């Protein structure tokens, strides 16, 4: 193989890696089922630490901690994750500190739509975006 062919092969490999990375990022932007436990852990820790003064925050922390503990012991799965999110909707709605109310309502609507769709990956993505928003509120 000549030098030009070898260089072309290296360039093709680099291009394919970038295409793969772009496709992976596009898929993960929607959500990642492998991050369910991590997102629930974030919820538990956020409401245990920063937002624990809110009664709804305490409910959300307890529900997430219960799920995370059961998930880690293999007594919970995606079905219990969906149940945790579904039963937590009212607590999320009744939080005292939500930052930008319009943005929070949009994120909550996205989560509710994902729950109603039954798509666990979309639920995790919506849950993650909600946690990012609430973390920013807590950090402000």
pLDDT of 53-108, one tens digit each?
999 999 999 999 999 999 999 999 999 999 999 999 999 999 998 999 999 999 99
Asked if residue 87 and residue 62 are part of one domain, the reply reads yes
The count of structural domains within the chain is: 2
- Residue 39, classed as helix, strand or coil, is helix
pTM listed for this prediction: 0.81
Asked if residue 53 and residue 8 are part of one domain, the reply reads no
Q: What is the span of the domain harbouring residue 112?
A: 33-139
Taking the C-alpha atoms of residue 76 and residue 79, their distance in angstroms, rounded to an integer, is: 7
Q: What is the DSSP string of 102-140?
A: HHHHHHHHHHHHHHHHT-HHHHHHHHHHHHHHHHHHHH-
pLDDT in tens, 116-136: 999 999 999 999 999 999 999
Asked if residue 23 and residue 42 are part of one domain, the reply reads no
Asked if residue 115 and residue 49 are part of one domain, the reply reads yes
């Amino acid at each position: 193989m000549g030098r030009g062919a070898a260089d072309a092969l290296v360039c093709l490999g680099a291009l394919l890696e970038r295409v793969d990375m772009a496709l992976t990022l596009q898929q993960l932007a929607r959500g990642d089922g492998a991050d369910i436990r991590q997102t629930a852990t974030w919820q538990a820790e956020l409401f245990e630490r920063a937002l624990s003064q809110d009664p709804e925050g305490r409910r959300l922390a307890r529900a997430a901690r219960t799920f995370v503990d059961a998930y880690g012991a293999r007594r919970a799965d995606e079905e219990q994750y969906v149940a945790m999110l579904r039963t937590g909707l009212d607590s999320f709605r009744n939080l005292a500190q939500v930052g930008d109310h319009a943005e929070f309502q949009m994120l909550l609507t996205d989560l509710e739509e994902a729950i109603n769709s039954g798509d666990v990956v979309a639920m995790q993505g919506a849950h993650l975006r909600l946690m990012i928003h609430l973390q920013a509120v807590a950090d402000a």
